[in-house]
Amino acid sequence: MTRTALWKEIAETLADEIARGHFPTGARLPTEAELSARFGVNRHTVRHALADLAARGLVHARRGAGVFVLGQAAEYPLGRRVRFHQAMEAGGRLPMKELTRREIRLADPDEAAALQLQAGAQVVVVEGLSSADGQPIAVFRSVFPAARFPGLLEAFAGETSITRALAACGLADYTRASTRVSARAAGAMVALALLLPEGAPVLRTTAVNVDAAGVPVEFGTTWFAGERVTLTVTPEGI
């Protein structure tokens, strides 16, 4: 019982110091030996505390390099026109997107329904990873009607911004029509991409974006690292 109380107290102490900025995003925590000396405990107790921080998505161990801070929760408002880069920059974060997949394929039933397409219609699929200050915060998949945007796949060849890629295909503006948010446990692939333990909590959003006439142009699914993002529903006009 004493050992359990010790590792929990150490974990809470380090989590509080991370929250206060004593260890900024990207910083390496003291070594196990240094933490053992600081708290007067053995390395097993320290490892237990660090494992708890990793399970919460606060730190990530790099083999042979140490344990590094993953940072604080990023604010992400779910507004009608709020985009990823805009949301991160508004919170003082440095946004970055990396595309890991782009292809044309047949829509599945959920995608066809969301985009109001006929069965068997083709869609452009883009997947990737969103980061803030170098910290992975979300894995995303965006699906677009291929017939509506015949040049979209090529537009993504040198572009990671969905807004700019759609603009290059003639869509100057679009808005969020609906978003559903649900809690999930991270599967193996999502956990790997987000540097989380498998089974860690993630927030999954499914959203439909529409053009000025209300016609669906994007069906998006995003998996957010649960402890790294705060989703906020903003007023309808924003």
For the chain, which residues make up each domain, given as ranges?
2-69, 74-233
Task: Look up tokens 């994007």; give the residue.
Answer: 218
Mean pLDDT calculated for residue range 211-215: 96
pTM for the whole thing? 0.74
- Beta strand pairing call for 201-210 and 229-233: unpaired
Model confidence at 235, pLDDT cuts 50, 70, 90, reads: low
Task: Say if residue 48's pLDDT is above 50.
Answer: yes
Mean per-residue pLDDT, 185-202:
90
For range 8-27, the mean pLDDT? 89
Instruction: Determine the Cα–Cα distance for residues 183 and 226; give it in Å rounded to an integer.
Output: 8
Confidence of residue 65 (pLDDT cuts 50, 70, 90): confident
pLDDT given for residue 238 in this prediction: 45
Better-predicted residue by pLDDT, 72 or 224? 224
- Check pLDDT > 50 for residue 85: yes
pLDDT exceeds cutoff 70 at 2? no
Task: Report the relative pairing of strands 59-62 and 229-233 from DSSP bridges.
Answer: unpaired
Q: Answer yes or no: is pLDDT of 57 > 80.
A: no
215-234 mean pLDDT: 89
> Which amino acid would we find at residue 215?
V
74-233: in CATH 3.40.1410.10: yes
What pLDDT is attached to residue 1? Answer: 45
Q: What is the mean pLDDT of residues 102-119?
A: 96
Pick 2-69's CATH classification: 3.40.390.10, 3.40.50.720, 1.10.10.10, 2.60.120.560: 1.10.10.10
Spatial distance between the Cα atoms of 238 and 220, rounded to a whole number of angstroms: 19
Mean per-residue pLDDT of the chain: 89
**Is pLDDT at 30 greater than 60 in this prediction?**
yes
Is residue 237's pLDDT more than 60?
no
Crossing angle of helices 2-19 and 32-39, rounded to 10°: 110
